[in-house]
Amino acid sequence: MRAQREHGGGIDAAVARFGGTRADWVDLSTGINPHPYPFPQLTGDIWTALPDAGAEQALITAARAFWQVPAGAAVLAAPGASVLIAQIPALMPPGRVRIAARTYNEHAAAFAHHGWEVVQDDTHRRAEARVVVHPNNPTGQLWFATDEAPGRPLVVIDESFCDATPGDSHVPVGATEPGVLILKSLGKFWGLAGLRLGFVIGDPTLVDKLRDALGPWPVSGPALTIGRVALEDMEWATRTRQRLHVDAARLDALMQSKGAEVAGGTTLFRLYKVDDAGAWQARLARGHVWSRVFSYDPTWLRLGLPPEHGWDRLEAALA
């Protein structure tokens, strides 16, 4: 049986149910920065030639500098973090993997697909692998390695939402530990989900196996160039972190004024506790604002940050 996978998005289904056109809607069901990194100008040969090895190396160099990757850790670019998540369970024979019950569900689905037994964090059963999402999606909780047993063959740390708070990253210290793989994505903080560019940082032996699995030219020429420019733009990153902090506080204030309770999140998405998340989702949807609910907790409602034009729409939907 295929493991259930729940995600944000699904605007087409929301339109079919609640009406309007896709352009009428504000999608707050994801944790994607609504103010994406501006694309640099691209030359024509980027679209017509095979990805250049020099461009790939320039991207890796930029990634090492941005994430402060230590010399002993390897870095691999991939066509999105999801591709890496799907491939990682095949790196070793199936066993048990510990994953939190309430977290991004793609990890559990990928391990189950490869024959692993998924056990929850609170079971304390022996496991050959551990997956943590840091900060966690949707709670925003940070993970610290103090309770991790030494010598575990595989530890996956998904830092897709960590670039808003770079000081929390495990890369500078943890990336050189044997068996550790740290995931990064340009889809969240940079708002470039459609670019499909992700990275894995960590154990060189495991990264080399992933490199072999992905084959030649895994990342497109345009993604190599755009990713490099984005990672080199430290000024944009600083301004963006400041803006996210302000907008997250603004969203909390608005939702609290309507009776929602802040339950967690990051500056890229906020988690609220409400009386009936399904009813709140339907209420917002009638105003053409899409939100995220969770099958495992009917009181949890998650909202991403609105774009500039989306604040008025959100306030009207909540009225």
Range of the domain at 151: 45-232
Task: Enter the tokens of residue 209.
Answer: 């196996």
> So what's the pLDDT on residue 6?
58
Does residue 54 fall inside a structural domain?
Answer: yes
Give residue 8's region: left, alpha or beta (phi > 0; psi -120 to 50).
beta
Residues 178, 258, single domain; the answer is: no
**Four-CA torsion 114, 60, 184, 34, nearest 10 degrees:** -130
Residues 174, 256, single domain; the answer is: no
Per DSSP, 243 falls in state H
Residues 83, 221, single domain; the answer is: yes
Helix (H) or strand (E) holding 169: none
Domain boundary among 163, 197, 232: 232
CA 54 to centroid of chain Cα atoms = 27
> Which has the closest alpha carbon to 167: 229, 100, 241, 240?
241
Question: How does DSSP assign 10-71, residue by residue?
Answer: -HHHHHHHH-S-GGG-EE-SS---SSPPPPPP--THHHHSPPPHHHHHHHHHHHHHHHT--T
Q: Where are the beta strands (DSSP E) in the chain?
A: 26-27, 74-78, 96-99, 117-120, 129-133, 154-158, 180-185, 198-202, 261-265, 269-273, 289-290, 292-294, 297-304
Give residue 10's region: left, alpha or beta (phi > 0; psi -120 to 50).
left
Residues 294, 218, single domain; the answer is: no
CB-CB contact of 124 with 73 (8 Å): no
Task: Enter the tokens of residue 259.
Answer: 């009776």
Domain boundary among 232, 255, 287: 232
Here the CATH number for the domain that contains residue 254 is 3.90.1150.10
CB atoms within 10 A of CB 279: 13
Residues 25, 117, single domain; the answer is: no
Does residue 187 fall inside a structural domain?
Answer: yes
pLDDT string in tens for the chain (319-residue length)? 344 455 566 898 999 999 999 999 999 999 999 999 998 999 889 999 999 999 999 999 999 999 999 999 999 999 999 999 999 999 999 999 999 999 999 999 999 999 999 998 776 678 999 999 999 999 999 998 765 555 578 999 999 999 999 999 999 999 999 999 999 999 999 999 999 999 999 999 999 999 999 999 999 999 999 999 999 999 999 999 999 999 999 999 999 999 999 999 999 999 999 999 999 999 999 999 999 999 999 999 999 999 999 999 999 999 9
> So what's the pLDDT on residue 125?
74
Does residue 4 fall inside a structural domain?
Answer: no
Longest distance between any two alpha carbons in the chain, whole Å: 55
Does residue 204 fall inside a structural domain?
Answer: yes
Residues 100, 201, single domain; the answer is: yes
Here the CATH number for the domain that contains residue 206 is 3.40.640.10
Q: What is the pTM of this model?
A: 0.94
Residues 289, 261, single domain; the answer is: yes
Does residue 28 fall inside a structural domain?
Answer: yes
> So what's the pLDDT on residue 10?
81
Domain boundary among 232, 264, 297: 232
> So what's the pLDDT on residue 44?
84
Does residue 312 fall inside a structural domain?
Answer: yes
Residues 59, 200, single domain; the answer is: yes
Residues 209, 65, single domain; the answer is: yes
Residues 228, 241, single domain; the answer is: no
Does residue 1 fall inside a structural domain?
Answer: no
Task: State the total domains in the chain.
Answer: 2
Residues 306, 170, single domain; the answer is: no
> So what's the pLDDT on residue 43?
86
Burial group, residue 283, by CB count within 10 angstroms (0-12, 13-18, 19+): middle
Does residue 3 fall inside a structural domain?
Answer: no
Angle between helices 221-232 and 53-67 (to 10 degrees): 30
Residues 53, 119, single domain; the answer is: yes
